[in-house]
Amino acid sequence: MLCAAVGLIVLMGIAVAGQMESTEQQNQKLLSENQKLTEENERLEKDLNNWKIAKEIKEAPAVRLKEDSENWMLALVNEEYPLAKDYTPASLTKLDEKCSVDTRIYGELEQMIADARQAGLNLYVTSAYRSYDRQREVFDTTMKDWISKGYSPLDAYDETKKSVAVPGTSEHATGLAVDIISGQYTGLDDKQGDTAEQEWLMAHCQEYGFILRFPKDKSNVTGIVYEPWHYRYVGKEAAKKITEQGITLEEYLQAD
């Protein structure tokens, strides 16, 4: 009888110890699960926030550009997200007689051109800020050229769209885009991309906050053919990520 009682106490003791151990383990488990949930929650909150920012950037480019908030340089302007017709940059700075840019990018653009000159290269800005009306003129002139070559108005429109942005969808209206060409070769075609000037720009532009906006093999994403002369200011942080990952502004805003 006594023996059985002792045995029972011993058994109970083992059971309690076992229970204590499992409570400890359970606590650990709960803590780590809690930690995981907190991390997951933080990640989701961050995702949601990034998504909200990306949505705002896409849906109201003119508002973004007007503000001096941190995202003005990421305003997306393309066929899907046109810029308001009456948008004009708050402040423009002249590069020369015919070209001006948004004052906020002037310093870095000038520095980039000066540094290229130091490396023995001659860069020329052929086009910068272009108003809605000016873009319409360029579009109409190009379209008339196609019509005079025998194209129907509809076909001329489609052909023009391949090389000239439809008014309202051009980044040139933001004042953040510049067409830069080589002093050695001034043609606006694929060969421009093979010049020493473009090679230097493609390798270094992100250091000044610029990206090659319409790269080769990305026209399915951007809707624009390869334009080795068109550079867009997006700020150093985004420019670095976009260049390193070999993506476009559209893809950057989608993923971030």
Catalytic site residues? 227
| Residues binding Zn ion: number (CB under 5 A) | 2
CB of 124 to Zn ion, least distance (A): 13
Q: Given the complex with Zn ion, which of 218 and 230 has the nearer CB atom?
A: 230
Q: Given the complex with Zn ion, which of 63 and 221 has the nearer CB atom?
A: 221
CB of 226 to Zn ion, least distance (A): 12
CB of 99 to Zn ion, least distance (A): 12
Contact set for Zn ion, span 176-215 (CB under 5 A):
179
Q: Say which residues have a Cβ less than 8 Å from residue 209's Cβ, sequence separation at least 6.
A: 73, 105, 108, 233, 234, 235, 236, 239
Place of tokens 């005079």: 148
User: Stretches 53-61, 86-94, 128-136, 230-238: which one binds Zn ion (CB under 5 A)?
Assistant: 230-238
Q: Say which residues have a Cβ less than 8 Å from residue 176's Cβ, sequence separation at least 6.
A: 65, 73, 75, 101, 102, 105, 232, 233, 234
Binding status of residue 64 toward Zn ion by CB under 5 A: no
User: Stretches 2-10, 17-25, 115-123, 229-237: which one binds Zn ion (CB under 5 A)?
Assistant: 229-237
Note whether 239 and 211 are within 8 A (CB). Answer: yes
x-or-dash string of contact with Zn ion, 139-178, rule CB under 5 A: ----------------------------------------
CB of 256 to Zn ion, least distance (A): 24
CB of 212 to Zn ion, least distance (A): 11
3-state SS of 147-208? HHCCCCHHHHHHHHHHHCCCCCCCHHHHCCEEEEEECCCCCCCHHHHHCHHHHHHHHHHHHH
User: Stretches 51-59, 72-80, 88-96, 228-236: which one binds Zn ion (CB under 5 A)?
Assistant: 228-236
Binding status of residue 230 toward Zn ion by CB under 5 A: yes
Give me the residues that bind Zn ion (CB under 5 A), please: 179, 230
